[in-house]
Amino acid sequence: MKRGEIIEVDITGYAFGGKGFSKIENENGPYIIFVDNTIPGQKVSARIAKKRKKHAECKLIEVLTPSSDEKQLPYQPISGAPYISLPIEKQQAYKKESTIDIYRKLGGFQNNTTLFDEFIESPEIFDYRNKMEYSFSTIRKDLETGEELDDQFALGFKTRGTWWKVENLNKPDGLFDAAFEEKLKEVRLYLEKTELPAWHPPQKKGFFRHLVVRKSFKSNQLLINLVSSSQGLKLFDRASFKEFMVNLFGDRLAGLQHTINDDVADRAKIENGNNQLLYGTPTILEELKGLMFEISMESFFQTNPKSAERLYTKAIDYAQEKFELKDEIIMDLFCGTGTIGQIVANELPNIKVIGVDIVAEAIEDAKRNAKRNAVENIEFYAADVGKFLKQYPDYNNKIHTIFLDPPRAGIAPKTLKMVIELNAKQIVYISCNPATQARDARELEDHGYVFQKFSLVDQFPHTSHIEAVGLFIKE
């Protein structure tokens, strides 16, 4: 076996992070072949990406034979929902077992099954996402023949494992609003008629880059953002595009934006582009646990809001399990638009909450939302968490509870050290990556915090991702 070689594998087991595997024997003993996004019972073709002494990591190319557990669904298969054909109970069982195991493997918690509290299901299994990003490309994968065709106008998702090839989305994928996705084809046909080209990823030229959509479950409205380069901008008739979109989506369209971004990276972001509002408002309103949140296109907001309510309920229950919270200071670190902090501050008016996030726009949203919700016992700071804690050493020994919700990569070791130095009575650690949480949990244990328990929340059905919430109490 060599790196780059394409092999056929019968998947017999499932490991954390959506890694199906097969155990073989070679001249040196047992050898494990991992293939991402696969499940036991499948026969797949995969490309060897890394070859080590005792294992190889492969990228899935194609499922040659499905597992007998898989069921046909009326959705278009996309790379972002690799497990959609597997009944949800089976998905949950794989996630639960492999994630509990990761606390033993990466955190060294041998009593991981007694630490495990609860597996919380997503209230919605299909169409649960509130944000989706579709890509344009002149290189299209034909869904019938599998051929790669150039000089096309494709709008949909990238073919698994490629950054250049897009498959048209012709019908709903089961993750995002079905009524919107039924109409995506019409948007593509309209934009194709403008004769402006879709982006050509290898040549890094073209006009249309992405279409990003946010949905409010509260109002059922949509905020749509077209992202393009400036190449041929003068030829793009924005007024007609606006009229077309208003006619197509009617009252559901809350706002339409056009972002111009000449960044040639794979993803031209909305954040650092030039944004023009073509119609309606640049924000959308969502409700979480009785509070309203105005979200702009760029701010972080939980992608499965109905499940996020269950996550936040669990986190707040953990915070109140051992202690009665009153007249205390609580920190919401990595707070995003300040959702957890505001919900806590609203439920417990006698405490003071401090929220910190590095994204200035998210903190602006947080402040505006706190005002809208008439939550007064909360303060927000736009800063790096590590720098903030260095700047305000007076908080050491004064914090009762820290809600910690870092990004997927986890907390920088220096920042975690400063969090530990705060000497809070307890930490409720929320994570979208239990692997980094397990690592950080070990560090917390080594510094006097006892890992009491954790729950898993299925925020992302049909993917390998899972959210975790853990409780740590200072001895």
Ligand X SMILES: C[S@@+](CC[C@H](N)C(=O)[O-])C[C@H]1O[C@@H](n2cnc3c(N)ncnc32)[C@H](O)[C@@H]1O
CA-only gyration radius of the chain, Å: 24
Least distance to ligand X, CB of residue 4, Å = 35
H-helix or E-strand containing 356? strand 352-357
Q: Which stretch binds ligand X (CB under 6 A): 20-28, 108-116, 209-217, 334-342?
A: 334-342
467 near ligand X, rule: CB under 6 A: no
Mark residues 257-296: x for contact with ligand X by CB under 6 A, - for none: ----------------------------------------
459 near ligand X, rule: CB under 6 A: no
Mark residues 95-124: x for contact with ligand X by CB under 6 A, - for none: ------------------------------
336 near ligand X, rule: CB under 6 A: yes
Q: Does the annotation place 126 within a ligand binding site? A: no
Distance CA 320, CA 343 (A): 14
- Residue 432 is among the residues annotated as catalytic for this protein: yes
Q: Which stretch binds ligand X (CB under 6 A): 42-50, 152-160, 282-290, 352-360?
A: 352-360
Q: For 402-419, give the DSSP string.
A: EEE---TT---HHHHHHH
Helices (H), 16-70: none
Is the distance from CB of 351 to CB of 345 less than 8 angstroms? yes
Least distance to ligand X, CB of residue 340, Å = 5
468 near ligand X, rule: CB under 6 A: no
Q: Report phi then psi at 252, rounded to 5.
A: -70, -20
300 near ligand X, rule: CB under 6 A: yes
Distance CA 472, CA 318 (A): 9
424 near ligand X, rule: CB under 6 A: no
Q: Which stretch binds ligand X (CB under 6 A): 41-49, 278-286, 350-358, 373-381?
A: 350-358
Instruction: Name 214's bridge partners.
Output: 131, 223
405 near ligand X, rule: CB under 6 A: yes
Q: Which long-range contacts (CB under 8 A, 24 or more apart) does 104-110 make?
A: 105/16, 105/438, 106/435, 106/438, 106/439, 106/442, 107/438, 107/439, 107/441, 107/442, 107/445, 107/451, 108/442, 109/438, 109/441, 109/442, 109/451
Q: Which long-range contacts (CB under 8 A, 24 or more apart) does 102-107 make?
A: 102/16, 102/434, 102/435, 102/438, 103/434, 103/438, 103/441, 103/454, 105/16, 105/438, 106/435, 106/438, 106/439, 106/442, 107/438, 107/439, 107/441, 107/442, 107/445, 107/451
Closer residue to ligand X, CB minimum distance, 248 or 358:
358
355 near ligand X, rule: CB under 6 A: no
**In 3D, which of 465, 439, 127, 448 has the Cα closest to residue 311?**
465
Q: Which of 100, 270, 291, 340 binds ligand X (CB under 6 A)?
A: 340
Q: Which of 99, 135, 152, 302 binds ligand X (CB under 6 A)?
A: 302
Report which residue's Cβ sits closest to ligand X. Answer: 336
Is the distance from CB of 148 to CB of 223 less than 8 angstroms? no
359 near ligand X, rule: CB under 6 A: yes
Strand ranges for 184-340 from DSSP E: 208-215, 222-228, 253-260, 274-280, 283-288, 291-296, 329-333
Of the chain, the end-to-end C-alpha distance in Å amounts to: 51
Instruction: Give the interface size with ligand X as a residue count (CB under 6 A).
Output: 19
The pair of three-digit structure tokens given for residue 202, joined into one six-digit string: 């290898």
362 near ligand X, rule: CB under 6 A: yes
Closer residue to ligand X, CB minimum distance, 98 or 339:
339
Least distance to ligand X, CB of residue 293, Å = 9
Distance CA 214, CA 304 (A): 12
Q: Which stretch binds ligand X (CB under 6 A): 111-119, 153-161, 231-239, 405-413?
A: 405-413
Q: Does the annotation place 405 within a ligand binding site? A: yes
Closer residue to ligand X, CB minimum distance, 81 or 308:
308
Mark residues 365-404: x for contact with ligand X by CB under 6 A, - for none: -------------------xx-------------------
- Cβ atoms within 10 A of the Cβ of 289, count? 17
Closer residue to ligand X, CB minimum distance, 328 or 365:
365
The catalytic residue among 432, 438, 456, 466 is 432
469 near ligand X, rule: CB under 6 A: no
Q: Which residues are annotated as a binding site?
A: 302, 334, 357, 405
Catalytic residue numbers, as ranges: 432
Q: Which residues are annotated as a binding site for S-adenosyl-L-methionine?
A: 302, 334, 357, 405
Give the interface with ligand X as residue ranges (CB under 6 A).
Answer: 300, 302, 334-337, 339-340, 356-359, 362, 384-385, 405-407, 432
